[in-house]
Amino acid sequence: MMRRGRTRRVRPVDGRDERRQPGEVMREVTTLRAAGRERTPRRVAVLSLHTSPLELPGTGDAGGMNVYIMQTALRLASRGVEVEVFTRATSSELPPVVEHAPGVLVRHVMAGPFEDLGKQELPAQLCAFAAGVLRVEAQSEPGYYDLVHSHYWLSGQVGWLAKERMGVPLVHTAHTLAKVKNAALAEGDEPEPRVRVIGEEQVVAAADRLVANTAFEFDQLVSLYGARPESVATVPPGVDLHTFAPDDVGQARAALGLTADAVVLTFVGRIQPLKAPDVLVRAAARLLADDPGLRGRLVVLIVGGPSGTGLEQPEALQKLSAELGIGDVVRFLSPRSGSALADVYRASDVVAVPSHNESFGLVALEAQACGTPVVAAAVGGLPVAVADGRSGRLVYSHDPADWARVIRSVVLDRANRAALAAGAVAHARRFSWDSTTESLVATYREAIGAFAEDGGRRDEREDRAG
C-alpha cells in the first residue's frame, strides 16, 4: 500500500525543514517505481529486532543468523549497496548508531527496557520498535531506503508495516519456522505459540520475496504456509573461506591444551534442547562403555552457552555428564568466533550437529571448511550442508547408540576420516558469502521489479475507479 494522507517531512539541502503534501509524495514514489524496475538497491534497511549482528554467536539468541546478517551486509557494502541494520537496544551504554564498516551501520532502537527480553516478551515491543525504524526513515528524503529485508518473524512483522509506510518492497528470511519446529520438538522443549504461527503466515503473505536457505525450506514455505512459488528464492548461506580453512592441527590442539593423540568430539552452538548437545554427551558415554580404553584419550568439547529453554536449567549438561560418569571427559568452553573458533574446529576429530531442526547449519559448513568431518542429524538443511559419505555422515535418529556407532566409524578409522576430511574441504568450497550475496542482490532486484509492477497495476485500478 502506498503512503497516503500524511504530510511528509523531509530535509532539504539548505538545512531548512519543509512540508510536502501527499500528492507530491505520490508522484515522487510513482516516479521512483518506474525507474526502479529490476535495478540494484542503493540502500537497504535490514531488520533484526531480537538479536544484534554485533553480538557473539553461541549464547542468548545469537547464532547463525547473526553471522548471516553481518557477512552479507559487509559484502553488500563492498558492492556499493549501503546497509543499515536496525536492532533493539539492550543497554543504555549502546550508542544510537555504530558504523561497523564503511557502508554498514547498526542502529540501536529503543524498544522496551534495557535488558534481555525473552522472545515471548518481544511481541509487546513491536510497535515501539516499528516507531523507531519509521522515525529514522521519516527524517530522510523520500526514497531513502529502496528495500526492507527482515530476519525472523518478529522483524517480519515490523517489515510488513515498514513496507506499507515507506512504499518499498519487503524481502523476508525466516531462518526458522514455527510449524516445522513444532513438528520435531526436542524432549523438554516448548512448542512455538500460536501467535508466532499466525505472525509467520502474515509475513509470508505480505513479503514481495521470501528467501529460503534450501530447496527443502522452499517446499516448507509453499506447502505449510501457502507461499507463492514464484515469490520464493533459494539462497544457500555461505562460509568465510578465508577464516575457516585447514591449518596446523598441532598448533590448534596446543592452544586448547589437547594432546596430539586425543580423540576430540566437539559441539558448537547454543546449549538448548533444540540443538541437542545431550545426544553427543550420551553418545560419548556409549563409546566409553563399549571401549573403556578410550577414556585416557577421549575429549568432548562443548563450545557455547545456555539459550532459550536451556536457560531454565543452565547446568543440565554438566549434571548429565556427571550422572553418566564422564564428567572428567567433557570440557565446557565459552563461545568464540573468528580464528579462535576455527582453531576449535581444526583441533577436533569430528564436529557433531545433532539438532532436532536446522534451517541450514552454519557450524557444519565452518567445520568442514577447516577440514573437519561433520556428523549431523538428517534434518532440515543439514543434508545440504553435509554431503553424506563424502564430507561427513548423516544420522537418521537421535538415538545415542546410533550416534556412537557413526562417530566411531569416523574417528577410529583413520583412512575413512582422512577421506572425509578431504571431502569436507571440497564440499565447503562450494559455498561462500560472496555467492550468497550475489544471489541476494538478484533477489532484491526481483523484489523491486515485482513491487513496481504490482504498484503499477494498483495505480491503474485506482485510476479506473476514480
Joined together, the cell numbers standing for residue 259 give: 594432546
Q: Check whether 145 is labelled as a binding-site residue.
A: no
Q: Check whether 23 is labelled as a binding-site residue.
A: no
Q: Check whether 358 is labelled as a binding-site residue.
A: yes
Q: Check whether 6 is labelled as a binding-site residue.
A: no
Sign of the CA dihedral running 305, 311, 314, 317? negative
Here the contacts of 373-379 (C-beta below 8 Å, separation 24 or greater) are: 373/349, 373/410, 373/417, 373/420, 373/421, 373/423, 373/424, 374/350, 374/424, 375/350, 375/351, 375/403, 375/406, 375/407, 375/410, 376/352, 377/276, 377/353, 379/184, 379/355
Q: Check whether 66 is labelled as a binding-site residue.
A: yes
d(CA 381, CA 369): 17
Joined together, the cell numbers standing for residue 297 give: 584419550
Q: Check whether 144 is labelled as a binding-site residue.
A: no
Q: Check whether 342 is labelled as a binding-site residue.
A: no
Q: Check whether 152 is labelled as a binding-site residue.
A: yes
Tell me 391's DSSP state.
T
The residue whose grid cell reads 560472496 is: 434
Contact (CB, 8 A) for 158 and 133: yes
d(CA 68, CA 340): 19
Nearest to 211 by CA among 427, 82, 359, 39: 359
**How does 95-122 read in b/e, with b if 16+ C-beta sit within 10 Å?**
eeeeebeebbbbbbbbbbeeeebebeeb
Q: Check whether 61 is labelled as a binding-site residue.
A: yes
Q: Check whether 366 is labelled as a binding-site residue.
A: yes
Tell me 388's DSSP state.
B
CA 209 vs CA 36, 43, 138: distances in Å: 16, 17, 24
C-alpha angle 69/72/74, rounded to 5°?
Answer: 105
Q: Check whether 110 is labelled as a binding-site residue.
A: no
Give me the amino acid identity at 184.
A
Strand ranges across the sheet with 298-303? 330-333, 298-303, 263-268, 350-353, 374-377, 392-395
Q: Tell how strand 330-333 and strand 350-353 pair up.
A: unpaired
Q: Check whether 372 is labelled as a binding-site residue.
A: yes
Q: Check whether 173 is labelled as a binding-site residue.
A: no
Q: Check whether 163 is labelled as a binding-site residue.
A: no
- What number of helices (H) and strands (E) belong to the chain? 16, 16
The residue whose grid cell reads 515522487 is: 28
Q: Check whether 39 is labelled as a binding-site residue.
A: no
Q: Check whether 336 is labelled as a binding-site residue.
A: yes
Q: Check whether 50 is labelled as a binding-site residue.
A: yes
Q: Give the rounded distance of the alpha carbon of 115 from its chain centre.
A: 22
Q: Give the rounded distance of the alpha carbon of 1 from its chain centre.
A: 29
Contact (CB, 8 A) for 120 and 15: no
Binding-site residues for UDP-N-acetyl-alpha-D-glucosamine, please? Answer: 64, 270, 275, 336, 358, 366
Binding-site residues, please? Answer: 50, 61-66, 119, 152, 176, 196, 270, 275, 336, 345-346, 348, 358, 366, 372
Binding-site residues for Mg(2+), please? Answer: 345-346, 348, 372
Binding-site residues for 1D-myo-inositol 3-phosphate, please? Answer: 50, 61-66, 119, 152, 176, 196
